[in-house]
Amino acid sequence: LRRRWALLALTGLTYIATVAFNLVYTIGDIFVLFIPAYLVVVLWLAVGAGELAGQIEKYGMVHNWLTLGRADTVHQRNHGSVGAGHRLKSVLWGAAAQADHWPQAQRGDFSQHFFYPKIFEKRGKTMKRHKKQHKLGMIVLLILPLLVATTTGLAQGQIPGPRENPNSPPQHIDPTPKILRRTVTPDAVHTTVEIPASRDTYISSNKPYQNFCNTNWLRVGYNQDSPNYGAVRMFLYFDLSSIPSDAAINYANFKIYMHSATPTGDSDMRLEARHLAASWDQCLVTWSSHQPQWGPVFGEAWLDSTPGWKEGDVTELVQDWVYGTHANNGMMIMGDETVRERQRMFYSSREPGMYPRLVVDYSVHVDTEPPVVSVNPLPQWSMSRFNVSWSGYDPGGSGIDYYDVEYSVAGGNWIQWLYHTQQTSADFAGGANGTTYLFRARGVDKAGNVQPWSSTAQASTTVDSIPPTATVNPLPDVTLTPLFLLTWSGSDNTGGSGIVSYDIQYQENGGPWQNGIMGTTDTSIEVTGAQNGSTYGFRVRATDAAGNVQPWDPAPQTVTTINTEGPTAAIDPFPYPSTRDDQFPVSWSGDAGAGLTVVSYDVRYRIDLGSWVSWLTGTSLTSQTFTDLGADGRYCFEVRVTDSASRTSDYMGQQCIIVDREPPFLEPRAYLPLIGR
């Protein structure tokens, strides 16, 4: 009996240790915390049931039980020891059958007897042994199913529960690649292969320690409805070891079947795919443990909510994995993780016929000749940033896979610039002024043949990074004709590539700049059609042989005002038509036109139709008292002006007044226009 109790105690301790281990390392689910408490309750009930059986046996209250007990004694004598299950069955059924025949007083204080068994007398060693066997049988019978069920679930790394798809139990799909098509040509073997996902699972933020490696589903997005997984992300891995490392990857498609989306009719969801930086185990990875470090994003896509096959081009990704450019640790895909019900559910690799897969088309070429590649010619001069291009062909037929391009500074050592590139041109930036750069390229074909490097440069150019300078030669402040000559000049930096063209712009009266002549090699132009009174501004810029362009000056480099009509002047009208005085004032004014000033005036007069008499010469005055009176008569005055451009106008602007100092005095009654001199 002691050995049995020791075995029972050892079993219980082992079970509790198993629960604790899985709590710490695997599950983290609150359900497990109740298992030890449940075990204690079961043990207590089992002991209680054994005591109950002992009390029934001691008082002999159940006649049928005694009868069954005697039957058991006969059975034991004839067939060996009675099992605990059979004995327990006899006790329970006998108690149920005779419970109504117990004395009322005995039924009334039954709980007292049950909870305080020490008040009863012990009856003999045989009955005591029977009571202990009852207890042991009850304990073993009640604990054993619990141990089997829960410990089995823990050993699998999770608490037993309903599978996400109970109607479709997980089946592990054979991850062996399936050849869909293979053709052989004289120079290559072309293969199309389907590669199932060999590892896939998802993780849940609301179940941070739960693993989902045995589910039929993969999830991305956010699950807020039942079972409320929270943010979910899926992991996939494809074994590409069956593809030769020297194979040419022609194309690769990723295909996955979307079973459903929530909410119904949801708009497109943005998905992001990342490299994984380390290997991972699909049956260990959870949100909070065994999760590999993320790598960079390699793809983005927008996914609709319509169920069915979804696919995308992953040619570059598969090339990176096969050629070793990036380690193949699989990928992680995540969606919109905003807290709301919005997710996409896909079939996992455990769903027959609907598993995620890669379809890869590749070729293994039979080619022993390297490609022929060369850098295309460059101009003699280039700016600090310039474009370099290269081209070539593969005589072996497999096709050029990628290019390597190097450069040298002023004939020095060759420096790696672009390696493993499939581009055929690129901008070279950061060239130093006055420095010569040399370039060479080689090709590598899809069969792995590498072109030898050229021992000499295939192209070169010298950098001129400083723009030239040019300016318009000065014009006079005022131009007196509508036609004039505009000239300019410029220079490049010392050792530069030299000026190759000029651009001329002009503006009128400070307005917007307008193109005059562009890209000319001339250094002068005859301007025609200038408008009198307008002011014109001019500016020029130069471009050198390297392509450097001088910035435009914001202000005009020279300005001139057009004045083609000459100055004008006039005698101011007299305030009265006649005078009887011996003297009277005379005034005048003049206009030199745009951009010029009046320098001097000449004034003359005459009496009636007599000859003109010079009164004032070269004066700067604009008024003077006239005293040179002779006989009475009609006195007329004219004026001419000389401007700052030394232009002198004709006499003009005549005004007349009648001088009547001797009687009889004339009284003008009407004025007639002057019709002659």
Q: What is the mean pLDDT of residues 113-125?
A: 42
| pLDDT value at residue 648 | 95
> Is residue 525 scored above 70 in pLDDT?
yes
Of residues 562 and 37, more confidently modeled: 562
Chain segment 412-424, per-residue pLDDT in tens: 999 999 999 999 9
> Is residue 117 scored above 70 in pLDDT?
no
Q: What is the mean pLDDT of residues 19-38?
A: 46
Eight-class DSSP state of 384: S
Eight-class DSSP state of 296: E
Helix, strand counts (H, E) of the chain: 8, 36
Q: Is 200 exposed, middle or buried (0-12, 13-18, 19+ CB in 10 A)?
A: buried
What is d(CA 499, CA 178) in angstroms, rounded to the nearest whole number? Answer: 66
**Crossing angle (nearest 10°) for helices 84-98 and 34-59:** 70
- Would you place residue 18 in the very low, low, confident or very high pLDDT band (cuts 50, 70, 90)? low
Of residues 56 and 301, more confidently modeled: 301
Joined together, the tokens standing for residue 474 give 């000065």
| pLDDT value at residue 630 | 83
Mean pLDDT of the chain: 81
Q: What percent of the chain has pLDDT over 70?
A: 73
> Is residue 87 scored above 80 in pLDDT?
no
Chain segment 271-289, per-residue pLDDT in tens: 999 999 999 999 999 999 9
> Is residue 122 scored above 90 in pLDDT?
no
| pLDDT value at residue 570 | 97
What is d(CA 618, CA 603) in angstroms, rounded to the nearest whole number? Answer: 9
Beta-carbon contacts of residue 260 (< 8 Å; ≥ 6 apart): 307, 344, 345
What is d(CA 39, CA 465) in angstroms, rounded to the nearest whole number? Answer: 85
Q: Is 550 exposed, middle or buried (0-12, 13-18, 19+ CB in 10 A)?
A: buried
Using the Cα atoms of residue 522, residue 524, residue 526 and residue 531 in order, give the sign of their dihedral.
positive
Element (H, E) at 63: helix 63-79
Chain segment 195-248, per-residue pLDDT in tens: 999 999 999 999 999 999 989 999 999 999 999 999 999 999 999 999 998 889
Beta-carbon contacts of residue 205 (< 8 Å; ≥ 6 apart): 229, 230, 231, 232, 287
| pLDDT value at residue 166 | 41
- Would you place residue 396 in the very low, low, confident or very high pLDDT band (cuts 50, 70, 90)? confident
Q: What percent of the chain has pLDDT over 90?
A: 64
Name the residue ranges covered by the structural domains of the chain: 2-155, 178-365, 372-463, 469-562, 568-659
Using the Cα atoms of residue 590, residue 594, residue 599 and residue 604 in order, give the sign of their dihedral.
negative
Q: What is the mean pLDDT of residues 505-515?
A: 97
**Ordered DSSP codes for 450-496:** BPPPPSS-SEEEEE--S--EEEEPP--SEESSS-EEEEEEEE--TT-
Closest CA to 316 of 249, 400, 246, 402: 249
Output phi, psi for 99, to 5 deg: -60, -35
At residue 353, what is the residue type?
G
| pLDDT value at residue 19 | 54
Output phi, psi for 179, to 5 deg: -75, 120
| pLDDT value at residue 571 | 96
Closest CA to 277 of 317, 321, 224, 331: 331
Q: What angle do CA 351, 356, 358 make, to 5 degrees?
A: 145
Can you tell me whether residue 200 is helix, strand or coil?
strand
Judge whether 372-463 and 568-659 match in fold: yes
- Would you place residue 97 in the very low, low, confident or very high pLDDT band (cuts 50, 70, 90)? very low
Joined together, the tokens standing for residue 71 give 């039957």
Q: Are 503 and 544 in contact (CB under 8 A)?
A: no
| pLDDT value at residue 62 | 38
> Is residue 473 scored above 70 in pLDDT?
yes
Q: What is the mean pLDDT of residues 84-98?
A: 39
Q: Virtual CA dihedral for 145, 148, 152, 154, nearest 10 degrees? A: 80
CATH number of 568-659: 2.60.40.10
| pLDDT value at residue 132 | 57
> Is residue 251 scored above 80 in pLDDT?
yes
Q: What is the mean pLDDT of residues 181-193?
A: 87
Q: Is the pTM of this model over 0.75?
A: no
| pLDDT value at residue 382 | 96
Closest CA to 504 of 526, 488, 482, 480: 488
Phi-psi region of 555 (alpha: psi -120 to 50; beta: other; left: phi over 0): beta
Chain segment 527-584, per-residue pLDDT in tens: 999 999 999 999 999 999 999 999 999 999 999 999 999 899 999 999 999 999 989 9
| pLDDT value at residue 366 | 78
| pLDDT value at residue 14 | 61
Joined together, the tokens standing for residue 203 give 């993780």
Q: What is the mean pLDDT of residues 373-395?
A: 96
Look at 123-127, 152-156, 315-319, 668-672 and tell me which has the smallest mean pLDDT.
152-156
Q: What is the mean pLDDT of residues 90-106?
A: 39
The total number of residues shown for the chain amounts to 677
Closest CA to 551 of 569, 537, 539, 534: 539
CATH number of 469-562: 2.60.40.10
Of residues 49 and 344, more confidently modeled: 344
| pLDDT value at residue 663 | 76
**Ordered DSSP codes for 234-267:** EEEE---TTS-TT-EEEEEEEEEEEEEEESTTPP
Antiparallel, parallel or unpaired: β 459-463 and 381-382: parallel
> Is residue 115 scored above 80 in pLDDT?
no
> Does 2.60.120 match the CATH number of domain 178-365?
yes
> Does 2.60.40.10 match the CATH number of domain 372-463?
yes
- Would you place residue 460 in the very low, low, confident or very high pLDDT band (cuts 50, 70, 90)? very high
Q: What angle do CA 37, 40, 46 make, to 5 degrees?
A: 140
